Structure 1
Amino acid sequence: MLASWKEKETVLDPSSNDPSTEEDDGEPKVCRVCGDRATGYHFNVMTCEGCKGFFRRVMKRNVRLRCPFRKGACEITQKTRKQCQACRLRKCLDSGMRKEMIMSDAAVEQRRALIKRKKREQLETQAPEVKELTEEQQNMILELLDAQMKTFDITFSHFKNSWLPGVQNNEIPKLDAASSEEEAAKWKSISKELYPISLRLQNEDGSVWNYKPSAERSKKEIISLLPHMADMTTYMFKGVINFAKVISYFRELPIEDQISLLKGATFELCLLRFNTIFNAETGSWDCGPVSYYLEDPQGGLQQLLLQPVMKFHYMLKKLQLHNEEYVLMQAISLFSPDRPGVVHRCAVDQLQERFTMTLKAYIECKRPQPAHRFLFLKIIAILTELRSINAQHTKQLLQIENIHPFATPLMRELFNIMDN
């Protein structure tokens, strides 16, 4: 604050032609009124800030001062300057300070506005620093986008819904009548953890068919959906595997590490891909002609949002990510060095760091600041949450598979499901 006032007074004082506070020989200058350290020429005299302000105030008030000691010759020093205003003013005038050099309030405000305008114009003319992605980072993003385009069809035109027509005709698979009490107890133990899924199918003729589980959520209905969900999961898994194979950085890794990374990350990449087709307004995943819903048995949206998967999709969708950010998230998840079975952890860790820094750089370059200054941290937090959801999902899948085997060969390989 003091420095700004010094600068301002130097500009405002027309007689200030030497704002330096040191003599030619290097010795500091002193106030000619009180002997304090001077800050420059003020009203024609080298003075300190205190005497400068005192002279301006007294002259503007235009009052007649009297020496309280009736001497008229008080010694004015840094310590005594406040004791006698009359003698201090006398010394200011004797030192050569001139009243006519004091600018009016209007002139001061006008000069301040001029200084501010010039500073603002100077800032506007300065070219802002433009952050750019490096050529390597641009190529990394382009390769990921190309891999995504080649391996993920959001219309799901290649997914065969061979099981759905049978359900539309009420051909629901029958359960074995000899189901044991032990099996029934196992179903009861996990039934509360299962997500009741509703389907809506848009037929080619424009008609709509809806499937909604009953309130009892019987194991018959759960099992009737398992084949379809296994087919959809396998379809998505194949897309993720092909996505990884297109990436040159992934192909350069040993085959053992490729397998370990895919086993650990495939489900996470599927969730990230599903988020791109998640409709936050309806709470559904629109997979071409079929839309999937997670039904809330209590009918309350709040409880629905508490479900880990739904909470994840709502949080991620709220960020309104670009396609570049989605594919970089997939790469960061894929190249996780702490997956079980990874041998060359250092190499994988370096790759993950490069993709992470590319995501950070992309946000800084393409997202306006400061509105998105926390976006990178939010994405990293969501990736951490994704790991937790992955663990919960795997545990639930193994429980269901133990009761009623439904996994496809690819699912069994990725989740290390052993044949009984």
Structure 2
Amino acid sequence: MCILQLRMSKEMEELSPLVDSGHGDGSEEETEDDGEPKICQVCGDKSTGYHFNAMTCEGCKGFFRRAMKRPAQLCCPFQNTCVITKTNRRQCQSCRLQKCLSIGMKRELIMSDEAVEKRRMQIRRKKMQEEPVTLSPQQEAVIQELLTAHQKTFDMTCAHFIQFRPLDRDQKSKCSREPNSNRFTYATMHEDAVQQTISFVSPSFPYFSIQSPESKEKNRHKRAIFTSLPHFTDLTTYMIKNVINFAKTLTMFRALIIDDQISLLKGATFEIILIHFNMFFNEVTGIWECGPLQYCLDDAMRAGFQRHLLDPMMNFHYTLRKLHLSEEEYVLMQAISLFSPDRPGVKQHSVIDRNQETLALTLKTYIEAKRTEPETHLLFPKIMACLTEMRSMNEEYTKQVLKIQDIQPEVSPLLLEIISKDS
């Protein structure tokens, strides 16, 4: 932050001679044709050009601007006949002001504070356009470390997915690949299956009773509803291990105390997995194309998850995928999610906050440096909005996993450890 402040101060010093000079158009200083030194007509000091319609130095320019904006009346302690020079110009403000007015300096040429700020912004924007945004060596190193960690810990071919227990789909449960299918219409989303899932997750359902004559039939439906749960259990366990290995590879993460490492992993694992799967999402068909396997929301329904999680999750994947992020932007997004200082149980808030700020600034700079689209400036806030949206889905996901575990104890012990409240 101190470096940023110094940089801004330096920019302000560079801009100050150009702003509020009385030219009106911000033109550069005028020069004498004969090459003679320019003298301030007020105090005799070296002039820097015409300011407010007169040749003056920077000191008298600033004095005139301040005096004209000051409501108090100035009085000469002598007889209003003080001779203003470079050495004594501070001794009598009244005579100095009269000298400014006598040489033709005009009050109406003084810009308002708003106009000065607008001019500074214009100059700053022009300077930024002339000097393209580039990543610093430190930012380049951060991105490279994240990319290396991601590529080492996450297989984009999904070759290991075939080792999981099968999805156990029937013919009617195959994911639709129609390009014009509605984004919220799932291939085999039967209303009776939805109602059965809700009835088994909610103990208050009227006929939820072991003693009921329909209990055997209900158990049969329950087994049908959770047919994809074994596969999702294996898949989730595999993905969690990838996230843990990814985090442990990062220098910033390893530098944290163990308690904070655990708290960050518990808070961010689901979100990072969501970001991983977005890389495989086809926004035309609504299917996750994971190498040898394809997933649709019907598979998640048959694992026991409900619509009030799945609908927002589907909308999230469409929204994020349509941003067409690069691999660098995806991994920076993962890292920003990981280093969230407000996770439950975090102790070193300031350290993690600085890490997240570094990652966020790196992402913003990367977008400005690498993207050329007309609405590039909107991409960073859109990514941050997606990160916020994941936080609410994270809470709902935890609730639904615990409900599924109560009904069908197939949930991975590693997942239960991740979503547990205690550190």
TM-score, length basis structure 1: 0.57
- Quote the residue 2:30 is aligned against: none
What are the equivalent positions in structure 2 for 1:13-412 lying under 5 Å apart?
27=102, 128-164=130-166, 187=200, 189=202, 218-295=221-298, 307-368=311-372, 370-412=374-416
Contact conserved, 2:201 with 2:407, CA < 8 A, in 1?
no
Instruction: Give the whole-Å Cα distance in 1 for the aligned partners of 2:226 and 2:341.
Output: 36
Unpaired segments of 5 or more residues in structure 1?
A: 8-18, 31-35, 40-123, 171-182, 193-216, 298-302
Q: Percent identity?
A: 47
The one-character-per-residue Cα deviations of 1:238-283 (angstroms, maximum 9, x if unpaired) are 1111111111111111112111111111010000010011110110
Instruction: Give the whole-Å Cα distance in 2 for the aligned partners of 1:375 and 1:399.
Output: 36
The one-character-per-residue Cα deviations of 1:51-101 (angstroms, maximum 9, x if unpaired) are xxxxxxxxxxxxxxxxxxxxxxxxxxxxxxxxxxxxxxxxxxxxxxxxxxx
Instruction: Give the whole-Å Cα distance in 2 for the aligned partners of 1:191 and 1:323.
Output: 46
- Quote the residue 2:418 is aligned against: 414
Q: In the alignment, residue 405 of structure 1 is paired with which amino acid?
A: P
- Quote the residue 2:17 is aligned against: none
SS at 2:159 equivalent: coil
Instruction: Give the whole-Å Cα distance in 1 for the aligned partners of 2:395 and 2:349.
Output: 21
Shift of the 417–225 alpha-carbon distance from structure 1 to 2, 3 Å rule, reads farther
Instruction: Give the whole-Å Cα distance in 1 for the aligned partners of 2:298 and 2:169.
Output: 19
CA RMSD across the alignment: 4.2
Instruction: Give the whole-Å Cα distance in 2 for the aligned partners of 1:190 and 1:146.
Output: 47
Contact conserved, 1:186 with 1:403, CA < 8 A, in 2?
no
Instruction: Give the whole-Å Cα distance in 2 for the aligned partners of 1:400 and 1:304.
Output: 15
Instruction: Give the whole-Å Cα distance in 2 for the aligned partners of 1:350 and 1:153.
Output: 30
Q: In the alignment, residue 274 of structure 1 is paired with which amino acid?
A: F
Shift of the 293–3 alpha-carbon distance from structure 1 to 2, 3 Å rule, reads same
Shift of the 165–291 alpha-carbon distance from structure 1 to 2, 3 Å rule, reads closer
The one-character-per-residue Cα deviations of 1:22-71 (angstroms, maximum 9, x if unpaired) are 599974679xxxxx99x9xxxxxxxxxxxxxxxxxxxxxxxxxxxxxxxx
Shift of the 353–162 alpha-carbon distance from structure 1 to 2, 3 Å rule, reads closer
Instruction: Give the whole-Å Cα distance in 1 for the aligned partners of 2:346 and 2:171.
Output: 47
Instruction: Give the whole-Å Cα distance in 2 for the aligned partners of 1:325 and 1:158.
Output: 25
Q: Is the radius of gyration larger for structure 1 or structure 2?
A: 1
Q: In the alignment, residue 133 of structure 2 is paired with which amino acid?
A: K
Q: In the alignment, residue 200 of structure 2 is paired with which amino acid?
A: W
Shift of the 255–277 alpha-carbon distance from structure 1 to 2, 3 Å rule, reads same
Instruction: Give the whole-Å Cα distance in 1 for the aligned partners of 2:238 and 2:55.
Output: 83
Contact conserved, 1:230 with 1:406, CA < 8 A, in 2?
yes
Q: In the alignment, residue 362 of structure 1 is paired with which amino acid?
A: Y
The one-character-per-residue Cα deviations of 1:349-403 (angstroms, maximum 9, x if unpaired) are 1111111111111112112265211111111111000101111111111111111
TM-score, length basis structure 2: 0.57
Instruction: Give the whole-Å Cα distance in 2 for the aligned partners of 1:236 and 1:128.
Output: 45
SS at 1:260 equivalent: helix
Instruction: Give the whole-Å Cα distance in 2 for the aligned partners of 1:342 and 1:127.
Output: 41
Contact conserved, 1:23 with 1:29, CA < 8 A, in 2?
no
Contact conserved, 1:305 with 1:311, CA < 8 A, in 2?
no
Contact conserved, 1:304 with 1:310, CA < 8 A, in 2?
no
Contact conserved, 1:280 with 1:317, CA < 8 A, in 2?
yes
Q: In the alignment, residue 140 of structure 2 is paired with which amino acid?
A: Q
Q: In the alignment, residue 187 of structure 1 is paired with which amino acid?
A: F
Shift of the 156–3 alpha-carbon distance from structure 1 to 2, 3 Å rule, reads same
How many residue pairs align between the two structures? 279
Q: Which gives a bigger RCO, structure 1 or 2 (Cα 8 Å, sep 6+)?
A: 2
Q: In the alignment, residue 132 of structure 2 is paired with which amino acid?
A: V
SS at 1:145 equivalent: helix
SS at 1:407 equivalent: coil
